[in-house]
Structure 1
């Protein structure tokens, strides 16, 4: 029994140590969501967790892919953070559906804010048109702490599928989804033509309306009788 207990204790300690070592590897800069369609425009968020107990994250610098430059990049303001978007001239213009692309965004830097220990922040970016000739885009990112430490998240995925120590944020690109089936002629016609709106009165409202109309008819009838009587009087006179 003592041997079994010792073995169980060793296994538990090993598992705890392994989990403790594995947790920090999970807390790296990532892109949310992690996938997008090829050839499309998309909105992503760079999710930045603070990994230090004695320092805050004060600056984030994201490098955009130079081998697959993006023509359109815009950022969403983050309260408390200043943002700087840098465009650079491309060595070789890239042909796109909108013409030759000679300049593209190369870096986006957020600074002036603070991500405290135990917290994370998301920095949203809208971008496109995503390339169609690759299945992934890497966004190397530098994370600067208040104590001067800089963590460089720039390593590409390993060939064997394992995760490197400092992986770069990765956006996987998937083929565009098949277009939805076209609407049937009747559905299209119904959508194109004005829609007639029918009004249905409840029984109480219908009964009230009928009584109102009946009363109005009675008044008109009485007025007709009075007018007729007056006409007879005049003729008799």
Structure 2
């Protein structure tokens, strides 16, 4: 959506932000509850893994909640806000992703949950790469690529909410799932979010192409 069209339909933009915040609320609430369990789990979990768990939960909470507002064209048009938020989002995004990667690599849970840990490792790696490419793009002032890569990183982050929603929608009518079922639901939830992100990125590319064509037509 262009800034002009966004100003004509602010309700649509804020509706999308509200949806992202609600989607983020599921893992945020779960993360806050898990923070209370970390001290008691410290007796059996290495200190480094406890630190990684806290870093992941806090980092992902900030990344998802603050990142949702970056999808507001009105706020994005305020460059001071967008840059200030970005200076927070990129570091906390790296903290969240690397914390998740640490927990997966040094997984110490039941053997049947190892596949789930590996799925989380794949997504953590993808989020880290997206953040790195987004950072490199903004350094070379390629704003379009920066926005695309940050959208992909945010999709993986907010995918935790989609994962929780997928598990909830499955377990409420059908009952609990085993470790293999949870792995498939988690993977499916995040992949669906990633597909939505790619659709958003494609729409942006189409709009940029139209804007470029219109500009060339005016010049010619």
Compute the TM-score of the two structures, normalised by the length of structure 2.
0.23
Structure with greater proportional strand content: 1
Task: Name the one with the larger helix percent.
Answer: 2
**Greater CA radius of gyration, 1 or 2?**
1
What is the TM-score with the length of structure 1 in the denominator? 0.22
